[in-house]
A and B are shown apart, each in its own frame.
Chain A
């Protein structure tokens, strides 16, 4: 006989995965719009953010309904983790929308002549996000733990990009508004990497029931 509660739990998982793929796509597309100066793509990403926001509302509603049925053990951890991951995904969506907004503005103006490490930072952030979501799908706690130290690199990249932009701005005052857009975009990428790290921590809690937040970097090999 069908287990109606299990069906609800599975529906929650599926919704979360759907939201994750939307968020991942948004980040991908916003970076693409930024680097390729694609005005229309930028507008689409901004519009699609509403979809991601709606997902968060639906997931929270479904999670609360499931909580009234008093889930235990793995189910309990899944429901609480789903609520937190959906929040992180929603913020990722917001950051992607911010990047898209800056991409839209930058595409209207001539490009800045400056080599930035931004593509590298973007690809790292994307890799972290994808890895966190894969770890959730595969319930792979070790993979999730491996993501966490990568955040440091991204933070360093962000600092270097900001420094380079600041230097360029002081030397070329006419590029200030464009450089500021780039700074904000880089900051958003750094935030996306932070959220990906949060998701990884939530996945570890889901799989191992261990709360590794705010505990510094842990490189544990196996349970």
Chain B
């Protein structure tokens, strides 16, 4: 399948970003992934832009989460996985033998579908990543923790109970805590795997607002099965179907006038 390179920017974006927002940061080149003999991703090629939100949409089992997890090598944890093709972030191939997955995950963070705070205090949750990567000084920790909790729009709600258990927070708060935990170590890219699918509409709306704020500083790739969500918050959307990339374009185009019949059918709810 021919490479679909980054689509042309909308006119106002073209003017605003000389090589910054929108410039390709992640290059996925002819990637195929096998679970044993089963081919889950077929010759995927696309470039993801810097400091924009890219959404992966598609029916269940189409491979969108699998591709997302390739980007921070979380698929390494599964037995029997084989990857062909190249994935380059910032120009560096991330599956090269000399690449340390630990270092990669410092720069590519992840937020999961089901929020998974550690059974520790709010403070300790955010401090965990910081301590892993060498921040030991008490005062620096406190500054960074406050910065992250503010960045995740959670500070005001928890500033008086930083040392209480994270498990006492509501679902939406827990997910924002997980986001704070991820951004604490200042990654460049944040991967989100259906971050709001387990939340009520109000909490979902807050997460979506947060994502729109975060994209000023981070590159975000989000997997979602909620098309309206993708339409609301993403700049670019990629539609996957049974392991293949069907269409990749600006969100406006995908949701008002997609080029492929399959995309049109999926987006209007005729299947999937």
Q: Mark B77-102, 1 if CB is under 8 A from A, else 0.
A: 00000000000000000000000000
A73 touches B267 (CB 8 A): yes
Q: How large is the interface on B (under 10, 10 to 19, 20 to 34, 35 or more residues)?
A: 10 to 19
B-chain residues with CB within 8 Å of residue A208 when the two chains form the complex: 257
Given A72-B267, A72-B268, verify A77-B257 contact (CB < 8 Å).
Answer: yes
* Cβ-Cβ contact count across A and B, 8 Å cutoff: 31
List 6 tightest A-B contacts by C-beta distance, closest first: A209-B257, A72-B267, A72-B255, A70-B228, A73-B267, A75-B268
Of residues 252 through 272 on chain B, the ones whose CB sits less than 8 Å from some CB of chain A are: 255-258, 263-264, 267-270
Residue of B nearest to A210 (CB): B257
SS of A interface (majority): helix
> Nearest Cβ in chain A — how far from B230, in angstroms?
10
Q: Mark A64-79, 1 if CB is under 8 A from B, else 0.
A: 0000001111111100
- Cα-based distance from A76 to B228 in the complex (angstroms): 12
Tell me the A residues contacting B by CB distance below 8 Å.
3, 5-6, 70-77, 208-209
A-chain residues with CB within 8 Å of residue B6 when the two chains form the complex: none
A72 touches B231 (CB 8 A): yes
- Cα-based distance from A70 to B268 in the complex (angstroms): 10
A73 touches B264 (CB 8 A): yes
- CB of B162 within 8 A of chain A? no
Partner of A76 from the list B256, B269, B270 (CB cut-off 8 Å) is: B256
> Nearest Cβ in chain B — how far from A13, in angstroms?
14
B269 touches A3 (CB 8 A): yes
B-chain residues with CB within 8 Å of residue A72 when the two chains form the complex: 227, 231, 255-256, 267-268
Q: Mark B107-144, 1 if CB is under 8 A from A, else 0.
A: 00000000000000000000000000000000000000
Partner of B255 from the list A3, A5, A76 (CB cut-off 8 Å) is: A76
A74 touches B264 (CB 8 A): yes
Q: Could you show 26 A-B contacts with beta carbons less than 8 Å apart? A: A3-B269, A3-B270, A5-B269, A6-B270, A70-B231, A71-B268, A72-B227, A72-B231, A72-B256, A72-B267, A72-B268, A73-B255, A73-B256, A73-B257, A73-B258, A73-B267, A73-B268, A74-B264, A74-B268, A75-B268, A76-B255, A76-B256, A77-B257, A208-B257, A209-B256, A209-B257
From A72, A74, A75, name the one whose CB has the most chain B CB atoms within 10 angstroms: A72
B-chain residues with CB within 8 Å of residue A71 when the two chains form the complex: 268
Residue of B nearest to A207 (CB): B257
Residue of B nearest to A80 (CB): B256
> Nearest Cβ in chain B — how far from A70, in angstroms?
5
> Nearest Cβ in chain A — how far from B168, in angstroms?
35
- Cα-based distance from A46 to B267 in the complex (angstroms): 44
A-chain residues with CB within 8 Å of residue B267 when the two chains form the complex: 72-73
From B264, B267, B268, B270, name the one whose CB has the most chain A CB atoms within 10 angstroms: B268
Residue of B nearest to A70 (CB): B228
Residue of B nearest to A5 (CB): B269
B-chain residues with CB within 8 Å of residue A3 when the two chains form the complex: 269-270
> Nearest Cβ in chain A — how far from B109, in angstroms?
30
Additional pairs, 13, CB under 8 Å, beyond known A72-B227, A72-B231, A73-B268: A6-B270, A70-B228, A72-B256, A72-B267, A72-B268, A73-B255, A73-B256, A73-B257, A73-B258, A73-B263, A77-B256, A209-B256, A209-B257
